[in-house]
Homo-oligomer: A and B are copies of this chain.
């Protein structure tokens, strides 16, 4: 996917991105909408969604689709992992991955009491490799989503 670039630098897009960057947490679109609206009262939710989608496509931010209802957004486009609290649903970052986590011995991480993890791969299945059709165009090799 050759990144579709924002065509114009609108104030809305700037505000959405800036507010996301300020946050260490990973807000949902609606949460970010509420925050950004403090600065720009006429901002509409549709615009927030459109911009978040666009920014994620361009790799400026990450769209996280952790298990659970809605998408969350992460202002840091670098590869890293996430921990989510099973109680309060909050999401934190994990930057250093223990080498031995595969063995399932992880007890704690980033202060969290670890309960489990989820690991999903992404790729092109054998059938689609044969088809050779290029619908994916080339997903980021680092793409987590």
The chain A residues found within 8 Å of chain B, CB to CB, are: 64-68, 81-88, 90, 92, 94, 97, 99, 101-102, 106, 108-109, 111-129, 131, 133, 135-136, 139-145
A109 to B118, CA, bound (A): 17
Contact B145 A85, beta carbon cutoff 8 Å: no
A139: min CB distance to chain B, Å: 5
21 A-B pairs in the complex with CB atoms less than 8 angstroms apart: A64-B67, A67-B120, A67-B145, A83-B120, A83-B122, A83-B125, A86-B124, A87-B125, A94-B121, A99-B102, A102-B102, A112-B124, A114-B122, A114-B123, A115-B123, A115-B139, A116-B123, A116-B142, A117-B119, A118-B121, A119-B119
A113 to B122, CA, bound (A): 8
Contact A121 B144, beta carbon cutoff 8 Å: no
A113: nearest residue on chain B (CB-CB)?
B124
